[in-house]
């Protein structure tokens, strides 16, 4: 599965690492976050999370902003380019998974499907139906930091 994700990403943007892509997915699935929240989710030190997010800001995939409600808190959100990358990688991965499942369909049993769903749930994989890809970024009147 990691190889599949890596190939899907590399085909579209060789300049984004898998950990950076995981940060983009966190933002896509959970909406705007603080750097510390992303670092916690990825199980990295806050300083590592900060450097990773700095790179994603420079690449134009995420941006920082402050809300009017709490000007001290800096949040990160996907840019349109970052959102498009996540959507493209997800579509590419889905196409590849469909091809693999179609090629092996005669070997699948209901127990295997249940096991895979249980595995995905236990790994913390957020179902795509719950992703926040459609949410607006900081264009809601809040200021960009």
In the prediction, which pLDDT does 1 show? 64
In the prediction, which pLDDT does 13 show? 64
In the prediction, which pLDDT does 108 show? 73
pLDDT in tens, the chain (145 residues): 667 666 767 666 668 888 899 999 999 999 999 999 999 999 999 999 999 999 999 999 999 998 888 778 899 999 999 999 998 888 888 888 888 878 877 777 778 778 877 887 887 766 666 655 444 444 444 444 4
Neighbours of 98 (CB within 10 A): 10
- Sign of the CA dihedral with 124 first, then 129, 130, and 135 last: positive
> What tokens does 54 get?
């700095």
Neighbours of 27 (CB within 10 A): 30
Name residue 44's beta-bridge partners.
none
In the prediction, which pLDDT does 84 show? 92
Report the distance separating Cα 55 and Cα 42, nearest Å: 16
In the prediction, which pLDDT does 110 show? 79
- Sign of the CA dihedral with 35 first, then 77, 70, and 130 last: negative
Domains of the chain (ranges, CATH numbers): 2-130 (1.10.10.10)
In the prediction, which pLDDT does 28 show? 93
Report the distance separating Cα 23 and Cα 1, nearest Å: 17
In the prediction, which pLDDT does 138 show? 46
Report the distance separating Cα 67 and Cα 90, nearest Å: 29
Report the distance separating Cα 1 and Cα 19, nearest Å: 14
């Amino acid at each position: 599965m990691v190889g599949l994700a890596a190939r899907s990403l590399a085909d579209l943007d060789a300049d984004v690492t898998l950990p950076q892509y995981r940060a983009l997915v966190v933002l896509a699935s959970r909406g705007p976050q603080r750097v510390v929240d992303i670092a916690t989710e990825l199980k990295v030190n806050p300083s590592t999370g900060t450097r990773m997010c700095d790179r994603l800001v420079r690449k134009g995939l995420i941006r920082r902003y402050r809300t009017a409600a709490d000007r001290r808190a800096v949040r990160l959100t996907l840019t349109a380019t970052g959102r498009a990358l996540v959507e493209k990688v997800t579509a590419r991965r889905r196409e590849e998974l469909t091809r693999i499942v179609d090629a092996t369909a005669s070997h699948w049993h209901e127990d295997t499907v249940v096991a895979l769903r249980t595995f995905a749930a236990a790994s913390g994989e957020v179902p795509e139906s719950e992703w926040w890809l459609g949410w607006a970024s900081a264009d809601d009147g809040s200021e960009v930091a």
